[in-house]
Amino acid sequence: MNRWLVLVLWLFCTDGEAQTFELRKEHDSLYWLNDWRLPYPVYQFQTGDVDGDGKEDAMVGVIKSTRFYPEKGRRLFIFKQVNKKARPLWLGSKLGGILEDFRYIDGKIRALESTTDSLYVVSDYKWDSFGMKFDHYIVKGVDKETAIKSFSQ
């Protein structure tokens, strides 16, 4: 596999200037989102207007521990672009359950999450001034196969 993984998405801001999010892989645990160093493994990269301001945001799924959750897990980081530089909008420790995967759909973040009782949920979250807020369940308390089917639709 190529040493550098480059994902480039050209977007247009309301002022007509090109907006770019570039995710580069230096090695398995070091990525760069534009100028922002991500010293963690990355499992997902999406773009979309998370906060509803009309401009694209970058959503990066990283694997890391946090102060409140010392065990490594999947986390969601959301970035804005300010003066052509990636800047954090939200560096999430947790959504609701144990995050398995996410995707951007219809202005919301859809999350595939496992629970402590080995069941799964698919939930939608929306932006709420500081971070992500639970919106509703797509499915709740189901097996993994059912959850993945629902998440993928």
Facing residues of 136 across strands? 124
pLDDT at 20: 80
Q: How many other C-beta atoms can be found within 10 angstroms of the C-beta atom of residue 146?
A: 14
Written as one letter, the residue type at 10 is W
Helices (H), the chain: 144-152
Which is nearest to 79 in space by CA: 43, 108, 36? 36
* Sign of the alpha-carbon dihedral angle for 94, 73, 79, 140: negative
Give the mean pLDDT of 138-146: 98
Q: Is 32 in contact with 40 (CB distance < 8 Å)?
A: no
Environment class of 23 (CB within 10 Å of its CB; exposed 0-12, middle 13-18, buried 19+): buried
Give the pLDDT confidence of 60-104 residue by residue, as tens digits.
Answer: 999 999 998 999 999 999 999 998 899 999 999 999 999 999 999
DSSP state of 117: T
**What is the signed CA dihedral for 85, 78, 56, 139, rounded to 10 degrees?**
170
Residue 126 has pLDDT above 80, yes or no: yes
Q: In this predicted structure, what is the pLDDT of residue 130?
A: 87
Distances (CA, A) of 114 to 58, 120, 139: 24, 4, 12
- List pLDDT tens digits, range 20-33: 899 999 999 999 99
